Amino acid sequence: QVQLIESGGGLVQAGGSLNLSCAASGRTFSVGVWGWFRQPPGKEREFVAATRWNGETTYYADSVKGRFTISRDNSKNTVDLQMSGLKHGETAVYYCAASRVLGAVDDYDYWGQGTQVTVSS
């Protein structure tokens, strides 16, 4: 089992920045990919960013490229998401997730409880 706890959510004005952090514990050696997803109100959960277990390869949704940065700190067992240039439509619950392989939402085995990000216009 892998346990994930997100932190860092909150209220930010459009155009502002916010940093999310995900603390991982348990069998983290089994994780091949760490990811961040978000679920806007009334919508499906969607991919935001992912990184391989060592943080050397990263992937981003087209909508966040150039504005969001995912990073993995193996010494601290954390996965961070730095967000800048936030838009009103990016209000959502943001989730940290872990998987053995890179894939879609349903491929991720472990999920955090989520942290709310609200972007005011």
Cα 105 from Cα 18, distance rounded (Å): 23
Instruction: Determine how β-strand 115-120 pairs with β-strand 10-13.
Output: parallel
pLDDT tens figures, 13-51 = 999 999 999 999 999 999 999 999 999 999 999 999 999
Residue 104 half-sphere exposure, CB side, CA atoms within 13 Å?
3
Per-residue confidence (pLDDT) for residue 54, from 0 to 100: 82
pLDDT band at residue 112, thresholds of 50, 70 and 90? very high
> Following CA atoms 92, 98, 102, 108 in sequence, which dihedral angle do they give, to the nearest 10 degrees?
-70
Whether residue 121 has pLDDT greater than 90: no
pLDDT tens figures, 50-106 = 999 888 899 999 999 999 999 999 899 999 999 999 999 999 999 999 999 988 899
